Structure 1
Amino acid sequence: MTNEQVHPLIDASELAELVLGPEPPTVLDVRWALTGPPGVEAYREGHVPGAVFVDLDRDLAGPPGPEGRHPLPDAARFEAAMRAAGVRRDRPVVVYDAADSTAAARAWWTLRYFGHGRVQVLNGGFRAWAEAGRPVSTDEPRPAPGDFTALPGSLPALDAEGAASLARRGVLLDARATERYRGEVEPIDPVAGHIPGALTAPTSGNVGADGRFLPAEALRERFAGLGATDAAEVGAYCGSGVTAAHQVLALALAGVPAALYVGSWSNWVADPSRPVATGD
């Protein structure tokens, strides 16, 4: 498997050239909603030509439980899902969601974690593709089986103990909305608050109104204000490890390597002995 690195983002014009070229990348549609219609419905209404739908809950996460609402999938299960989607070791992969790359970042991170080095996120998602007047298809391709091999550990990951330790000695960013971090509301998990020592950094601050990531310099400035630089040890968590992957991607764009606490808050509060902080 190649470990060749590519820039994490690709824009609609670049993707259009590749999709219509002689050796198109494997394109994965990862549209997903925590509430509302499942992403596959949007996919069937129209998608990037040749794109294959990947279900975040089924393919990019293990079954919910004490490890979290979206724990890491088993390597064999993830490998099978990616092979069914046509993912190959020697072919680039492009992932996209509706607009802000929250779900696509989870696909990017999971593929990278399991060893695929050539993964890019369509900046601005399907909205950017459609608004640019690019072709849209309703055909559902049946890709030839891929040969991707899932080898875990290519990106750093944290468990609860590691996250607690990092919050004390480094910079642990909480990617949820600030009111959830403060413990003022908690719409999903049974306990409100945050990991002691973590800093609030909502992922909404990583993108503009169009869903595209802010320029790298703006992201560097944002994270530097929180002490998250390439000279620090940095990690991120959220509610269940989805938006925190978006944080890790934004940090990568800023030149800051970061670890992901995949289980995130939903795993943290599964153990009532773990401390919970509220407020600022």
Structure 2
Amino acid sequence: MVSDNRPMPLIDASTLRTLLTGSNPVLLDVRWSLADGADHGAYSAGHVPGAVFVDVDEDLCGRPGPDGRHPLPEVAALQDRLRRSGIAANSAVVVYDGGDMLAAARAWWTLRWAGIAEVKVLDGGYPAWIAADGPVSTDEVTPQPGDIVVTPGSLPVLDAAGAAEWAEDRTLVDVRAAARYRGEVEPIDPVAGHIPGAVNHPDTDLIAPGGGFINADARRRELADLPRDIAVYCGSGITAARAALAVASTDRPIPPVYIGSWSGWIASGDRPVARGEAAAGDLATLAEFLAT
């Protein structure tokens, strides 16, 4: 049983097909990649019938700036976009992406943060739908507007100071690749390294080779070395949302996300940076930072 009585956030393609025959959830296609952004072309070529296309960068995140590359969206703009997507006060929502679970997880996280209680993610994304012989449409969907009222803060979020305090007192997990955590490489952000005191647990260990998550038992085993009371961050708050989704799909509570993540941490230029493996010396550096 899930510890806080949440519904499990993942749905498989077979269950989604059955669900669509008996109810009318709002379907969001959020196919996207870090390199190329929103993939509306893939949506136009074929999507789950009834799905509305949503752009993760433009619709579900704020503008890049001092809070990172994918900060929280502006509430009024998010509410307007969700209403135009057909989401009403009592809507159930299902989101899917191209299978790597990144965009769908950030969509899930943003909608849950916005106060929408019933949001599920199609495990394996659109490829899983095709593999299950799901029907395909090429029609551009323009739904009837909904009346959703966004209630921001419905999931726990950390800012930079909160992330630093969490790393000092509890377990802050950096879910990026180990080489990025250690500061050996940094393909995106201008500074390499990690938040002092954070530990590394790459969330790619939770992803199956063909897309989607590894099975539930395997997810629990992967997370077994982490305490329940964790918070997560990544490069810009996308992969951290995927890690939060993976954690929430086991018997653990949804962890707080430092949504600014590494790109937000380094934006000011005056926060401490750790490199290499986590060490006791990091805590001294962090204590100095918290005292300033």
- TM-score range for the pair, normalised by the shorter chain length: over 0.9
1:253 aligns with 2:239: no
CA offsets per residue over residues 44-96 of structure 1, 9 Å max, x none? Answer: 11111000000000111001111110000011111111111111121210000
CA offsets per residue over residues 175-223 of structure 1, 9 Å max, x none? Answer: 1111111111111111000001111112211121122222333222222
Match for residue 235 of structure 1 among 228, 231, 235: 231
- 1:1-280 paired onto structure 2 within 5 Å: 5-21=6-22, 23-36=23-36, 38-225=38-225, 227-229=226-228, 233-257=229-253, 258-280=255-277
Unaligned runs of at least 5 residues, structure 2: 278-292
Q: Is contact 2:30-2:38 (8 Å) kept? A: no
Q: Distance in 1 between matches of 2:172 and 2:166?
A: 6
Offset of residue 17 of structure 1:
1.7
Q: Is contact 1:19-1:49 (8 Å) kept? A: no
For structure 1, which segment, 53-62 or 246-255, has the greater mean C-alpha deviation from structure 2 after superposition?
246-255
Q: Distance in 1 between matches of 2:24 and 2:157?
A: 31
Report SS of the residue matched to 1:20.
helix
Q: Distance in 1 between matches of 2:73 and 2:227?
A: 28
Q: Distance in 2 between matches of 1:17 and 1:222?
A: 31
| Shift in CA distance, 184/162, structure 1 to aligned 2, threshold 3 Å | same
Q: Is contact 1:47-1:137 (8 Å) kept? A: yes
Which of these two proteins has the greater Rg computed from alpha carbons? 2
For structure 1, which segment, 211-220 or 116-125, has the greater mean C-alpha deviation from structure 2 after superposition?
211-220
CA RMSD of the aligned region, Å?
1.3
CA offsets per residue over residues 205-248 of structure 1, 9 Å max, x none? Answer: 112112222233322222221x332xxx2100011100100011
Report SS of the residue matched to 2:32.
coil
Q: Is contact 1:5-1:118 (8 Å) kept? A: no
Amino acid corresponding to residue 57 of structure 1 in structure 2: D
Report SS of the residue matched to 2:217.
helix
Q: Is contact 1:6-1:117 (8 Å) kept? A: no
Q: Distance in 1 between matches of 2:204 and 2:154?
A: 27
For structure 1, which segment, 173-182 or 48-57, has the greater mean C-alpha deviation from structure 2 after superposition?
173-182
Q: Is contact 2:236-2:262 (8 Å) kept? A: yes
Q: Distance in 2 between matches of 1:66 and 1:153?
A: 20
For structure 1, which segment, 121-130 or 213-222, has the greater mean C-alpha deviation from structure 2 after superposition?
213-222
TM-score when scaled to structure 1? 0.94
Unaligned runs of at least 5 residues, structure 1: none
Q: Distance in 2 between matches of 1:72 and 1:37?
A: 17
Amino acid corresponding to residue 266 of structure 1 in structure 2: S
Q: Is contact 2:38-2:56 (8 Å) kept? A: no
Offset of residue 120 of structure 1:
0.2
Q: Distance in 2 between matches of 1:162 and 1:139?
A: 45
Q: Distance in 1 between matches of 2:91 and 2:234?
A: 31
Q: Give the fraction of aligned pairs with identical amino acids, expressed as a percent.
A: 53
